[in-house]
């Protein structure tokens, strides 16, 4: 199965937040937000599996 790449522009809708919020997540080393899997002409694309793993780690942190 081919990996699914999610453009940076779709992240705010995915997480129901602003672009600025996603930008801050990417800058905060404590959040461990996934790095872009691919950058084309300055546009970042994120591996969906990495995003799902990050989401799961955030859920685990809340439950702990």
Asked if 43 and 8 count as a contact pair (C-beta separation under 8 A), the reply is yes
63 confidence band (pLDDT: 50, 70, 90): low
Residue 54 predicted with pLDDT over 80: yes
Residue 13 predicted with pLDDT over 60: yes
Average predicted confidence (pLDDT) for the chain: 93
Residue 56 predicted with pLDDT over 90: yes
DSSP letters spanning 3-63: PPEEEGGGHHHHHTS-HHHHHHHHH-TTTTPPPPSEEETTEEEEEHHHHHHHHHHHHHHHH
- Of the chain, the percentage scoring pLDDT greater than 90 comes to 84
User: Which tokens hold the place of 50?
Assistant: 């990495």
Instruction: List, for residues 22-39, the tens digit of each pLDDT value.
Output: 999 999 999 999 999 999
């Amino acid at each position: 199965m081919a990996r699914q790449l999610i453009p940076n522009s779709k992240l705010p809708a995915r997480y129901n937040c602003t672009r600025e919020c996603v930008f801050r997540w990417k800058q905060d080393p404590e959040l461990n937000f996934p790095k872009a899997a691919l950058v084309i002409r300055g546009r970042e694309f994120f591996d969906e599996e990495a995003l799902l793993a990050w989401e799961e780690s955030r859920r685990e942190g809340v439950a702990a």
